[in-house]
Amino acid sequence: MSSGGFRRVGVVGVAAALVFGVVGAVPLRPAGAAVVCDPAVPETCTLRQLADELGIRIGASAEADEVEPGPYADTLGREFSSLTPENALKWYTTNPAPGVFDFDDGDAVVGFATTNAMEVRAHTLVWTQDTYTPDWVKAVNDPDELAQWVAQHVVTVAGRYAGQVQRWDVINEPLATAGTALSDSVFHRVLPPGWMASVFSAVRAVDPDAELWINEYGTDWVPGKHEAFVALVRDLLAAGAPIDGVGLQVHRPSVDGPDVAAFSQQLRDFTDLGLEVAITELDIPIPPGGDAALLDQAQAYRRVVASCLAVPGCTEITVWGVTDANTWLDGLGVFPTPTRPLLFDDGFAAKPAYDEVRAVLAEAVLARRAGPPVDAPTGPVTAAPAFTG
């Protein structure tokens, strides 16, 4: 297991040591090195440098074409310490037909992360939404046959990336998008109860070093969904599912909220179960036109990040894209466009939201340097029964 403590020294920690010299001292600057980050002057720091010193990850999602050399890739490598393949590891990409596997896009994104000393949140093995499940999978009605396809999928894909990725979103969106019941998915319909715990165990067996996560949408704003998700995670743990962490996507509906006290308590509800928690797909849309909304957006970003920083065991904040030009929200048909939900504008210029995220991270670094060290909470659950799907 790689997740023995929440403030681990992995590639991120090594990067932090290189950047900061001796943590807690005045940063040392090796001859010829890039500008040293001084959190008292946040403009001297990247998000990644600040997150590194805090022992957390700051991440972004990206597609295979976005990690090709250019300003997009430059921004990714400079600012972020974790990378989530946005679509490259989804079932429809990796396993588009029975027994057919394609890792070209996944290899590109994972390879870029490795080259840039970024960790990988591999996303995702089983997405329990019919809309994003290949037709050939949805056509399977027999529980034994579907269990075999699921086992083949997760063992092949997780096995392919074993040792290259630090964590998997094993199950994505087990609950209904705008509700509290299980989603209406072929997996929930056809497979017997207990299938999710079996999938976690199968992934643990094939990649024992990867942290295993469950990821959900809308728990921060759909009424009752947080409580339903806590109950589901509890049930999975009770069933022996080897879950290490809980991802909350945090696709905010607007710049309103979240309330820091209430949202950080939601995060704590998962760390109280002995799990890590992370914000895995953050974006905050604003109405088109005018710059005032950019400032409201910046404050909303601050509240989300501050909520995570308030909770030991909240180990990552990942934004769902880098520039406003590449957001999924503009194609959703729900919000007036352009939605401008991310940290960088179309021309890679940092927005007020970027400045505010950097500022709140810098404040946390300064507070940490001034105060006592933070205790690590208890470790993850590791029970691993065999796959029985």
Q: Which residues are catalytic?
A: 173, 281
Minimum separation from the CB atom of position 321 to ligand 9MR (A): 7
Minimum separation from the CB atom of position 280 to ligand 9MR (A): 8
Minimum separation from the CB atom of position 191 to ligand 9MR (A): 21
Beta carbon nearer to ligand 9MR, 101 or 328:
328
Minimum separation from the CB atom of position 131 to ligand 9MR (A): 8
Strands 57-62 and 211-216: unpaired
Which residue lies nearest ligand 9MR, judged by its C-beta? 328
Beta carbon nearer to ligand 9MR, 132 or 348:
132
Minimum separation from the CB atom of position 249 to ligand 9MR (A): 5
Beta carbon nearer to ligand 9MR, 198 or 326:
326
Residues that bind ligand 9MR (CB under 6 A): 86-87, 90, 132, 172, 217, 249, 281, 328
Beta carbon nearer to ligand 9MR, 79 or 281:
281
Beta carbon nearer to ligand 9MR, 39 or 59:
59
Beta carbon nearer to ligand 9MR, 62 or 308:
62
Other CB atoms within a 10 A radius of the CB of residue 22 amount to 9
Minimum separation from the CB atom of position 86 to ligand 9MR (A): 5
3-state secondary structure the chain: CCCCCCCCCCHHHHHHHHHHCCCCCCCCCCCCCCCCCCCCCHHHCCHHHHHHHHCCEEEEEECHHHHCCCHHHHHHHHHCCEEEECCCCCHHHHCCECCECCCHHHHHHHHHHHHCCCEEEEEEEEECCHHHCCHHHHCCCCHHHHHHHHHHHHHHHHHHCCCCCCEEEEEECCECCCCCCECCCHHHHHCCCCHHHHHHHHHHHHCCCCEEEEEECCCCCCCCHHHHHHHHHHHHHHCCCCCCEEEECCECCCCCCCCHHHHHHHHHHHHCCCCEEEEEEEECCCCCCCCHHHHHHHHHHHHHHHHHHCCCCEEEEEECCCEHHHCHHHHCCCCCCCCCCCCECCCCCECHHHHHHHHHHHHHHHHHHHCCCCCCCCCCCCCCCCCCC
